[in-house]
Structure formats: C-alpha cells, structure tokens
Amino acid sequence: MGKKTAWAATIVGGSLVALVAAALVVRPWEVPEPVATPTPTPEPPPAAVLTGADAGAPAPTADGVRDAIDELVEAAAFGGAISASVVDVGTGEQLYSYEGATPTIPASTTKLLTGAAVLAAHGPAHQLATVAVAGAEPGEVVLVGGGDPTLAIDADGFFPGAARLDQLAEQVTEALGDTQVSQVTVDSSLFTGPVHGPWDDDIPGSGFVGPITALMTDGGRIDPDPAQGQRSSLRWEEPDLAAGVAFAELLGVSADQVTIGSAPPAVAGDGDSGGQSDQGESTTDPTGTPAPPDPAAPGAVLGQVMSPPLLRLVETMLVTSDNALAEGLARQVALHQGEPASFAGAAAATTAVLAELGLPMAAAEIADGSGLSRDNQLPAELLTDLLAQAADPAAGEPLAGLFAGLPVAGWSGTLAGRYRAGEPDPTGVEAELRPAGPGAGAVRAKTGSLTGVNALAGLVMTADGRLLAFALLTEEVPVAPGPARQALDEVTTALLECGCR
C-alpha cells in the first residue's frame, strides 16, 4: 500500500459458527456410543471495508459523476439550497460542482479546517502542557492552563489518554516536600476575548459546548460520561475555576482558598514555564555546578502534565465532533501565528495557515473553530480541495492525519447511525436500529448539523477503486434531520456504486 492510501485500513471481523450435537438420553447402566464432533464449516470472511485505492483504476468522468448524482443532489429533502463538489483525488480534477463555489453554512465540517490548520502549524507530535508553579505567597500554588480541553481530574476522564490533575498534584507534593499548600491560584490568561462564540443563543446552555477557557477539565463537563458522547452533560459556567477547585481538593486545600489570578514570572533558566525572573534564580555551589532553583521561589515549576499528541486530539475532535476541543485547537493555531487566542484571532490564524497551504480561502469566512456559528461560510469546493491535498502523497504529513479521525459510515463516531437500510426515522434517533445499508463501512466523512443545516464531507471509493473527495453542504433543510441525512447518504452511496465513466 502506497503513501496515498496509508490512511486506509481493512476492518475484518468474524463470527462464531454454532456446532450442532445430537441430544442423548443416558441411563446409568448404559454406555453411550461415542458421537463424532462434526467439523465446522468455515464461513467466508466478511467483505473488507476502507480498502486502499487502486492506482490503476479507470478514471471517472465528469459526465459519469453527473449522471450518478445530479438528480440526488436536487432532492427535496435539502430544501433547495446545496453546495456540492466532487474531486478525483488521484488527479485533482474537479468532476462535479453544483453551486460548489457558493459559500454555505458548513456546520461541523468546519472542524476539517481547524484540524488541518493546527496540524500544519504545530505538527502532529506537538503536545499541550498544563503546569503548576510556586506562587508569590508562601504556600501558594498556581495552576497554569495551557489550553488543553482534554485535561482530566483522574483516571475517569472523558477523553482517552488525557493528562491528569491527580498526577500533577503528586508532582507538586513531591516538589514541595514539607511545605504545606495553603492556596491555589488559577491562571487561565492564555486565552483572551469572550468565552462564548458568535453562536445562537441556545448553544451555550445546550450541553454541546460551554465557555472556552485555557484551563478546563473534560471539555468543561460537569459530570463527564463518555458513554453518552458529545452531549454528555451540562458545562461549568467557570470551567477554569472548577478545574482549580478539583486541583485544590487533590492537594488538600479547601475550595474557598481557590482564586483566579496570574502566575509569577518563571524562574530564570526554566524554559518550560516561559519568561524569566530575578527571583529564585539558580545559584552555583563551590564546585561550579548550578544548584536547582528553590521550589518555593515564586515562578518555580513544581510539575507539568502533557496532553496526547495533536494528531490524537484532532482524531478525537473529528470522530466525536467535540466542540470544546475544536475551539481549544483553533486557539493553538492563533498562538502559533502570533494572534490573540480568541475566536477572532483563531479565525484569522486558521485562514492564514490554510492560505499558506495554497487553499482558496478568498471566499471563505471563518467565525469559530467548531462550526457552531452560522457566520461560518465555506464553499464545498474548498473542502474537497483540502481533502484532496491531504490525500496527496506529494503534500506529505501532517495533513494526512485528518483521515484517522474521519468517522466510518455505519461504523464509528457521528456516522455510526448513518447509512442504514429502510425508511429514515424523521428524528434520526432510531437510525442505529435499522440494518446497515450499502454505503456502510465504505464512506469516511465528517458530519455537520445545526437546525436547518446538514453537511457531509469526506472520501468514497468508486466501484472501480478510484478515490473521490466530496463535500455536500445544505442550509435550508426542514427541521426534522432524518430525511436530509438519508439523502446525503444516498448521494455518496451512488458514488460508491458507480464507475462514473
């Protein structure tokens, strides 16, 4: 398998074969004849999904794609407003465009841009640090947020592999030795600007997202439960303060001794905490060896925990469509570009980074990193250009990392309940109860959904083995989402089933 298809995986499963044995009635005085155990007949393996593209597959044509999907794109379920684009990944050729250059509300397909920008800016291995430093007052510990929304309190966190406050507290206790912690200060000043984006009024209290701050645990969730997915609970009104209270409890400090403030400048020579200070500098012993800084000196680093690599954070953001994580990652792009770590700064930085990649950003308007804002306006052609570039081996890493997080139709993430056979449920709630349809396991895409908005952008293989990038953005959908989602699935399934030649 070449670089172009390195993202692809073959998912193979099996089933147990039942063995049928004759029923025997055995009397105590009788010895039963031995019964031969029948040799099980092996079942054929299930069809492979997400197989690699065939570099020698016949190229689809624009006429073939048009014949396959033109009528489906004009489905009544879309409400008459759709921006659609299909690109041959192998050649970069635009095969289909239906108002594809028209800016349209993209909903959560915006997260594809956020993921691409943060991977391009920082690289897939970059990690986010949460640091504890000594405060200006004796016994004061400052918890400094580094913008990691996945930070957990303990092993029961919402996000897999997250950095943990209990482990940070252990480091602090060890560093301070006999010094008793009496106060915890929370420094979340890394992020600036409003904590809520340019969203509909019902978004902040919906459970889908909360205030965006540089310090939070579990994406700001009050009672995180991974089993319930994205909308697992309400969010803290002050997620940075709530994280500080949790940290204080781990250190044996009462909640009333937790305040919002700022960390002192870092101890000189300590590159992890940034900045320098004349206070607490290292001294030199008679042998000329620098002595370590006094852990009680203001600004001295007492502990640090690191997030999973950005590649894993982007994967989690895409597969679950996590909004708080998306906004946190967008601010990391802003910090890299020297912009304020705010909604506006992140939008400007994301636009700049993607333009540097050669993507056509002139018609795009970005208002947030999650896609919750209706002020976002993206042409479908921008999304297919991004996906095609990410799949191009000449472009190389890091954009190929986007594909690890794209949900698989009928299989994972926000597409687990999609691509089902039978009549669609108008609400979409009972979708997973229907059997898998023909596109299940063969389409990989990012979903997008707001009231009246449904979107889908990703990759699909034609019947001949040719890889296509597609984007379908609709913004005048009737309130019930089921039919529109079914119609989106039908468009991409038609691409899957055709040679499109």
Q: Which residues pair with 284 in a beta bridge?
A: 290
User: Regarding beta strands 129-134 and 140-144, do their DSSP bridges make them parallel or antiparallel, or are they unpaired?
Assistant: antiparallel
For the chain, the 3-state helix, strand and coil shares in percent, each to the nearest 5, are 30, 15, 55
- C-alpha–C-alpha distance, residues 475 and 78, integer Å: 8
**Contact present, 385 and 110 (Cβ < 8 Å):** no
- C-alpha–C-alpha distance, residues 113 and 456, integer Å: 14
Known catalytic residue at 108: yes
Q: What are the b/e assignments for 55-65, b being 16+ CB within 10 Å?
A: eebebbeeebb
Nearest to 492 by CA among 402, 419, 433: 419
The active-site residue, picked from 4, 111, 273, 370, is 111
Given the structure tokens 């890394």, which residue do they identify? 190
Q: DSSP readout, 404-430? A: GGSPBTTTSGGGTT-SBSSSPPTTSTT
Known catalytic residue at 111: yes
- C-alpha–C-alpha distance, residues 237 and 43, integer Å: 55
Coil, strand or helix at 454: strand
Known catalytic residue at 307: no
Mind telling me the catalytic residues? Answer: 108, 111, 321
